[in-house]
């Protein structure tokens, strides 16, 4: 076996037959025939270790590029002893490499993995995604992303029941900031604490770096210390965001609906 970068591997034919479905076994004409493979030596060296009775390689320190090649090689050659392990490590790579993991998951019909990786690709460009994804997966991604963006744009624009409009208070009218005045008594001045909180939460939502809505709000609510009404408004907003977010379809559900 010869890697794409020129390294020759001598692997027992019996092991190839026993531990894989894709490598040639008895089909090889002679023992000296060299089969050219498309994978790098780094990926093949790891893959072949799954074909012998020995400890499996430690993938925790393997560079992602090599891990991705190994995962694809395990699928391509049907090395079953490596497939699930590679899938676990690819899943762990989602935070740093969501696009690549989504492409891998889409190629091999790993629905759960698609659902976990897809939300983190919402900020990726169409051009970049079209290069990584297969045509079928790309179409699903476009539909899924447009659905997510539509909900987020509604939230960001403040068109959901006015929940993102800053609360007003009656300080100028002699009232307490912690008291609610009637609509006829409210002054036009917005609470000065709200804009900073409002902006910080929106930035978190736009970046899509954290999908724990409760954590996003709780991490910023300290900005509202001193204003009970702002905290009440924040609680209402959090509830609306949570409800809207639950309505976003998962990648796999979009796929099933097509």
pLDDT in tens, 7-57: 988 888 888 888 888 776 555 545 667 888 999 999 999 999 999 989 999
Phi, psi angles (nearest 5°) of residue 36: -80, 125
Instruction: Give the per-residue pLDDT at 21.
Output: 84
Q: Is 181 exposed, middle or buried (0-12, 13-18, 19+ CB in 10 A)?
A: middle
Instruction: Give the per-residue pLDDT at 201.
Output: 84
Quick one: which of 105, 106, 202, 218 has its CA closest to 158?
202
Count CB atoms within 10 A of the CB of residue 77.
21
CA–CA distance, 36 with 90 (Å, rounded to integer)? 26
Instruction: Give the per-residue pLDDT at 258.
Output: 67
Instruction: Give the per-residue pLDDT at 175.
Output: 42
Where the chain has pLDDT below 50, the residues are: 29, 158-164, 166-189
- Domain spans of the chain? 151-246
No. of helices (H) and no. of strands (E), the chain: 12, 0
CA–CA distance, 226 with 230 (Å, rounded to integer)? 9
């Amino acid at each position: 076996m010869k890697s794409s970068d020129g390294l020759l591997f001598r692997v027992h034919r019996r092991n190839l037959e026993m531990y894989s479905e894709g490598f040639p076994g008895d089909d090889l004409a002679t023992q000296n025939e060299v089969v050219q493979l498309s994978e790098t030596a780094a990926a093949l060296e790891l893959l072949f270790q799954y074909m012998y009775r020995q400890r499996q390689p430690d993938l925790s320190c393997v560079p992602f590029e090599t891990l991705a090649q190994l995962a694809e090689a395990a699928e391509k050659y049907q090395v079953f002893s490596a497939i699930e392990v590679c899938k676990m490590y690819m899943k762990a790579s989602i935070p740093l490499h969501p696009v690549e993991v989504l492409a891998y998951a889409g190629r091999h019909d790993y629905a759960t993995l698609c659902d976990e990786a897809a939300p983190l690709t919402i900020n990726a460009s169409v051009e970049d995604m079209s290069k990584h994804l297969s045509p079928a997966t790309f179409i699903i991604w476009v539909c899924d992303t447009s659905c997510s963006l539509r909900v987020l744009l509604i939230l960001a624009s403040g068109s959901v029941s006015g929940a993102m409009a800053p609360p007003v208070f009656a300080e100028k009218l002699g009232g307490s900031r912690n008291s609610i005045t009637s609509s006829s008594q409210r002054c036009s001045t917005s609470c000065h604490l709200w804009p900073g909180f409002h902006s910080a939460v929106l930035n978190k939502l736009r970046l899509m770096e954290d999908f724990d809505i409760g954590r996003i709000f709780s991490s910023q609510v300290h900005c509202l210390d001193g204003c009970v009404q702002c905290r009440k408004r924040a609680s209402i907003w959090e509830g609306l965001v949570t409800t809207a977010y639950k309505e976003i379809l998962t990648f796999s559900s979009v796929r099933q609906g097509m």
